[in-house]
């Protein structure tokens, strides 16, 4: 079915150069076309142009009445398969405990693992789908989902199976990451658990697209990370790692060394990490929602971009450090807290987010042949207004693979 979007006030995210990611000053260009139209044909974008062209014929016409049409968000880092919330820890945090202190007491990730262990697959699936549908209505069209609350062979694989089922049934683009090394599972010594994660890799590799390690003081060392990434790579899994969230962990450097697609968090990263990322294919991904929720410093996104690097922003949606998948809020935090311009924040949550999960060839920007994953705003909205009035409803309709939600 052909659908014509006419009277588009601003078409954002036009990718004329066939770019797969935007680096440095390329992020200043949001690919804007004013007074435009766009034609979708089935699941893909067929053509687009400006009002001066004669409009193509279509089976259905959507009058955008001057609204903005932009690519749906690409959220490259989430943990949306989890069992129950962690409201108790939320109150502990309000009363002064830090994220690291809660983890050291056996709470945090281990708390989620205990709950997941008791939760049937059906319930895990239903809860994750509910979260994803909410994210879709908030404009997210592509999502990466991690395991990491199983922390034993059975439950880690169960999580990956749940993600696989979501992949098969959701209209979203879904990528899956094996994060067995999220915390040391209960009943294991540190050494034994690292070994067990490497053992899990064979089965995990049948289900996952990427391998991840929480490279952080109190979790996994650079040496553990190297060992796990190497095993993952042998099984065809490209790394995407958690690095430099709470300390300068060396995670960025080890990630780049093993050809990571992305290194994520980077709250504690500066010149050394910028130097390590220069001339690599690895993208820096920052997660301002977790800085917001935990009251931690924000990544220096502006410095990374000024140094010529690409930056992606993602939600990190999880029950412990970022219980929200709202990518417009992530964009707003990028602007308000990380001093990104709306154009840079927009590129960080669309094309660069898509790159960070290996899907920028199929979604995350406007080009013929790409998936018609689109957000249509109400009339009169633009990128600046979207983040400035960051609490005001602005979405008129989300389309995934050409179909309205
Ligand atoms: O990215 N930092 C490690 N992992 C998650 C939090 C997981 C949790 O607390 O449940 C994150 O912030
Ligand atoms: Fe995370």
pLDDT 10s digits, 319-377: 999 999 999 999 999 999 999 999 999 999 999 999 999 999 999 999 999 999 999 99
| Candidate of 79, 145, 225 to mutate for ligand 1, largest count of ligand atoms within 8 Å of Cβ | 79
- Under 8 Å between Cβ of 285 and 263: yes
- The lowest-confidence range among 94-98, 189-193, 235-239, 322-326 is 94-98
pTM for the model stands at 0.97
Domain ranges of the chain: 2-71+364-404, 73-355
Q: Is the pLDDT of residue 76 over 90?
A: yes
Helix, strand, or coil (residue 196): helix
Residue 223 pLDDT > 80, yes or no?
Answer: yes
**At CB < 8 A and 24+ separation, what contacts does 382-386 make?**
382/9, 382/10, 382/68, 383/10, 383/12, 383/30, 383/68, 383/70, 383/342, 383/343, 383/346, 384/342, 386/68, 386/328, 386/331, 386/342
At residue 107, the pLDDT reads: 86
CATH number for domain 2-71+364-404, candidates 3.20.20.70, 2.30.40.10, 3.40.50.10860, 2.70.210.12? 2.30.40.10
Q: Are strands 395-400 and 374-379 parallel, antiparallel or unpaired?
A: antiparallel
Q: What is the CATH number of domain 73-355?
A: 3.20.20.140
Q: Which atom of ligand 1 is nearest to the CA of 112?
A: 10
Residue 51 pLDDT > 90, yes or no? Answer: no
Q: For residue 304, give the DSSP letter.
A: H
pLDDT at 272 over 80: yes
Any ligand 1 atom below 6 A from CB of 240: no
Mean pLDDT in residue range 47-71:
94
Q: Which of 51-55, 139-143, 196-200, 234-238 has the lowest mean pLDDT?
A: 51-55
Q: Whole-angstrom Cα distance, residue 21 to residue 71?
A: 14
Percentage of the chain exceeding pLDDT 90: 96
- Is the pLDDT at 289 greater than 90, yes or no? yes
Tell whether ligand 1 has an atom less than 6 A from the beta carbon of residue 232.
no
pLDDT at residue 52 in the model: 76
Whether 348 lines ligand 1, by a CB cut-off of 6 Å, is no
Q: Which of 5-14, 30-39, 241-250, 252-261 has the lowest mean pLDDT?
A: 241-250
Quote the distance between the C-alpha of residue 338 and its chain's center. Answer: 17
Coil, strand or helix at 274: helix
């Amino acid at each position: 079915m052909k659908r014509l979007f006419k009277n588009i006030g601003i078409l954002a995210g036009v990718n004329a150069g066939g770019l797969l990611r935007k680096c440095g000053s390329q992020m200043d260009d949001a690919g804007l076309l004013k007074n435009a139209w766009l034609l979708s044909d089935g699941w893909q974008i067929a053509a687009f142009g400006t009002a001066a062209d004669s409009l193509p014929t279509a089976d259905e016409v959507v009058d955008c009445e001057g609204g903005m049409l932009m690519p749906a968000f690409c959220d490259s880092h989430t943990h949306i398969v989890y069992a129950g919330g962690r409201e108790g820890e939320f109150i502990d945090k309000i009363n002064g405990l830090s994220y690291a202190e809660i983890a050291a007491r056996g709470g945090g990730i281990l708390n989620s693992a205990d709950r997941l262990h008791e939760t049937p697959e059906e319930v895990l699936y239903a809860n994750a789908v509910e979260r994803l549908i909410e994210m879709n209505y908030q404009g997210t069209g592509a999502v990466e989902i991690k395991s990491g609350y199983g922390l034993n062979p059975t439950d880690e694989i169960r999580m990956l199976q749940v993600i696989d089922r979501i992949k098969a049934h959701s209209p979203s683009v879904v990528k899956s990451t094996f994060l067995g090394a999220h915390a040391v599972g209960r009943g294991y010594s540190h050494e034994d658990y690292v070994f067990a994660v490497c053992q899990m890799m064979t089965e995990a590799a049948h289900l996952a697209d990427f391998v991840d390690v929480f490279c952080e003081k109190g979790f996994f060392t650079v040496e553990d990370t190297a060992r796990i990434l190497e095993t993952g790579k042998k099984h065809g899994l490209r790394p995407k790692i958690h690095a430099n969230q709470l300390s300068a962990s060396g995670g960025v450097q080890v990630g780049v060394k093993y050809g990571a697609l992305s290194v994520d968090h980077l709250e504690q990263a500066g010149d050394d990490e910028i130097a390590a990322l220069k001339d690599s294919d690895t993208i820096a991904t920052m997660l301002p929602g977790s800085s917001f929720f935990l009251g931690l410093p924000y990544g220096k996104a502006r410095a990374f971009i000024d140094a010529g690097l690409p930056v992606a922003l993602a939600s990190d949606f999880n029950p412990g450090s970022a219980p929200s998948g709202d990518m417009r809020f992530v964009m707003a935090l990028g602007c308000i807290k990380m001093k990104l311009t709306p154009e840079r924040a927009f590129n960080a949550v669309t094309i660069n987010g898509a790159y960070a999960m290996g899907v920028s060839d199929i979604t995350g920007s406007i080009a013929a042949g790409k998936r018609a994953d689109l957000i249509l705003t109400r009339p009169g909205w633009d990128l600046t207004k979207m983040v400035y009035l960051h609490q005001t409803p602005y979405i008129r309709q989300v389309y995934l693979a050409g179909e309205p939600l």
